[in-house]
Amino acid sequence: MKKYLVIALLVIVAAVVAYLTFVIAALKIVIGAILLGVSAIALLAVWIMWKIED
């Protein structure tokens, strides 16, 4: 009985670790996409300013 309890605990811990890893990766992707969008808008703004200056 104790052996099954240890196995169940290990499976639960593994599932929690996998879930947290997935959540952190998803957050990193979202933050990266937002930063990419912000940098693209900034580059566009710089390009427009440069075109207006010319």
> What pLDDT score was predicted for residue 2?
86
Residue 28 corresponds to which tokens in the numbers above? 């990193």
**Residue ranges for the chain with pLDDT beneath 70:** 54
Q: What whole-number distance in Å separates Cα of residue 8 and Cα of residue 15?
A: 11
pLDDT at 53: 76
What's the pLDDT at 1? 81
Residue listed under structure tokens 């440069």: 50
pTM above 0.85, yes or no: no
The whole-number pLDDT of residue 16 equals: 96
Per-residue confidence (pLDDT) for residue 5, from 0 to 100: 92
